[in-house]
């Protein structure tokens, strides 16, 4: 492949579009005639300001966000948002509902408990996180401040496509691993947050989207950097943002836009998932998917082989054949194929060919 690149199935940081890498590379030493690299420029310069505004514009355009949404670029990863959202929106004496569907939801719950009451509206431990809840299984609290959900469970391999009905209570969603992978109606979401390093670009920048009515309820009596109002009022420029990360994210967004937007990317993601899960279903004695069929993630496909020895061999031979990142998360084992937006259908066709040969030689 071009530049001797391999097939990259890393879970995060993960593959980015080659077009974005090339666009950044082209201006690497001298950004648009400025005589310096972008990362050498002030975050108060007019060049950087144009990038900042363009990146916000593309997010709003691609996701169909109205003027009632604030778009922020923060640091500290999605992991800091677990605490920050509860500091800002929960508060002692109040309750928030959390739908626990995996490792990341569990971490979000742990942080929120420091700032108020947490009602676990669904405890996925009871189903080993191998399926998502149905609406009638959710024990929602009347008057909850928000309902927290993890849209794609990166480690367990489940994904929501239909979001819970919350009777007007704002959904707060960790979309770190599937943001912009399929179209959504933003309206029920009071807050969306995502570390960029899975679907939006490099690590070190966290996208936070806040709906104005929820934002207005944020606690104003917090330390400066941890209250949303600081970042809303200063347009994410209170202190130095991750200028390079935001620029790179903008290039990834431009790539999505050039593909035809999120709906076009969704079509490819669906084709990838159909191909890989279809192959697994035809060969389920060898490639067993542990996740319930109606809860399967398009982003992170988990599977088990007949033995751990075969799984280790699969990962090793895969690496030799040019497939990187096939090992499952250390907490669950097995095989995981992470295939975010930037991973093309050709990569899935190639890995399925490899799986056929591996099964023939070891089945
Ligand atoms: C990767 C991931 C995180 C952690 O993100 P950081 O940016 O490393 O803090 C949180 N939630 C989900 C769903 C993830 O996939």
Give the number of the atom of ligand 1 that is nearest the alpha carbon of residue 153: 13
Q: Does 79 sit in the ligand 1 pocket, CB within 6 Å?
A: yes
Contacts (Cβ under 8 Å, ≥6 apart) of 127: none
CATH top class, domain 21-259: alpha beta
- pTM, two decimals, is 0.98
Residue 206 contacts residue 78 (beta carbons within 8 Å)? yes
Residue with tokens 């899960």: 277
Residue ranges per structural domain of the chain: 21-259, 261-362
Walk along the chain (363 residues) and give the pLDDT tens digit of each residue.
Answer: 899 999 999 999 999 999 999 999 999 999 999 999 999 999 999 999 999 999 999 999 999 999 999 999 999 999 999 999 999 999 889 999 999 999 999 999 999 999 999 999 999 999 999 999 999 999 999 999 999 999 999 999 999 999 999 999 999 999 999 999 999 999 999 999 999 999 999 999 999 999 999 999 999 999 999 999 999 999 999 999 999 999 999 999 999 999 999 999 999 999 999 999 999 999 999 999 999 999 999 999 999 999 999 999 999 999 999 999 999 999 889 999 999 999 999 999 999 999 999 999 998
Counting Cβ atoms within 10 Å, is residue 49 exposed (0-12), middle (13-18) or buried (19+)?
middle
CATH of 261-362, one of 3.40.190.10, 3.40.50.970, 3.65.10.10, 3.90.1150.10: 3.90.1150.10
Q: Does 12 sit in the ligand 1 pocket, CB within 6 Å?
A: yes
Q: What are phi and psi of 131, to 5 degrees?
A: -150, 165
The verdict on whether 28 is a catalytic residue reads no
Contacts (Cβ under 8 Å, ≥6 apart) of 291: 130, 131, 156, 157, 158, 297, 302
Report the chain's terminal Cα–Cα distance, integer Å. Answer: 30
The verdict on whether 294 is a catalytic residue reads no
Residue of 145, 156, 198, 227 marked catalytic: 198
Residue 10 CA to ligand 1 center (angstroms) comes to 14
Residue of 97, 145, 156, 174 marked catalytic: 174
Do the two domains 21-259 and 261-362 of this chain adopt the same fold?
Answer: no
Structure tokens at 129: 């996180």
- Angle (CA) 31 32 38, round 5°: 25
3-state secondary structure at position 89: helix
Identify any residues that bridge with 96 across adjacent strands, giving them in sequence order. 118
Residue 199 CA to ligand 1 center (angstroms) comes to 11
């Amino acid at each position: 492949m071009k530049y001797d690149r391999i097939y990259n199935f890393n879970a995060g940081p993960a593959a980015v579009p080659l077009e974005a890498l090339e666009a950044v590379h082209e201006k690497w030493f001298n950004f648009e005639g400025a005589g310096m690299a972008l990362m050498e420029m002030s975050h108060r310069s007019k060049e950087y300001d144009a990038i900042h505004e363009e990146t916000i514009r593309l997010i709003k355009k691609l996701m169909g966000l109205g003027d009632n949404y604030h778009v922020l670029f923060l640091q500290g990863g999605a992991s800091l948002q677990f605490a920050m959202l509860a500091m800002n929106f929960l508060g002692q004496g109040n309750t928030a509902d959390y739908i626990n569907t995996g490792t990341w939801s569990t971490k979000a719950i742990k942080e929120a408990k420091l700032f108020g009451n947490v009602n676990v509206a669904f405890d996925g431990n009871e189903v080993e996180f191998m399926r998502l809840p149905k609406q009638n299984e959710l024990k929602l609290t009347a008057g909850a401040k928000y309902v927290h959900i993890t849209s794609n469970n990166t480690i367990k391999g489940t994904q929501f496509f239909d979001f819970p009905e919350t009777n007007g209570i704002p959904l707060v969603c960790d979309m770190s691993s599937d943001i912009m992978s399929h179209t959504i109606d933003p309206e029920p979401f009071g807050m969306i947050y995502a570390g960029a390093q899975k679907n939006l670009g490099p690590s070190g920048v966290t996208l936070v989207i806040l709906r104005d009515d929820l934002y207005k309820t944020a606690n104003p009596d917090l330390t400066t950097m941890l209250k949303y109002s600081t970042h809303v009022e200063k347009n994410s420029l209170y202190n130095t943002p991750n200028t390079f990360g935001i620029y790179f994210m903008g290039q990834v967004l431009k790539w999505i836009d050039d593909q035809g937007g999120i709906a076009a990317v969704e079509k490819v993601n669906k084709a990838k998932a159909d191909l890989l899960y279809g192959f697994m279903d035809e060969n389920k004695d060898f490639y067993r998917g542990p996740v319930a069929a109606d809860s399967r993630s398009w982003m992170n496909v988990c599977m088990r082989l007949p033995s751990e020895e075969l799984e280790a061999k699969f990962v090793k031979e895969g690496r030799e054949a040019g497939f990187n990142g096939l090992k499952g998360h250390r907490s669950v084992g097995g095989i995981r194929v992470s295939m975010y937006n930037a991973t093309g259908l050709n990569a899935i066709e190639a890995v399925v060919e490899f799986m056929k040969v591996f099964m023939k030689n070891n089945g």
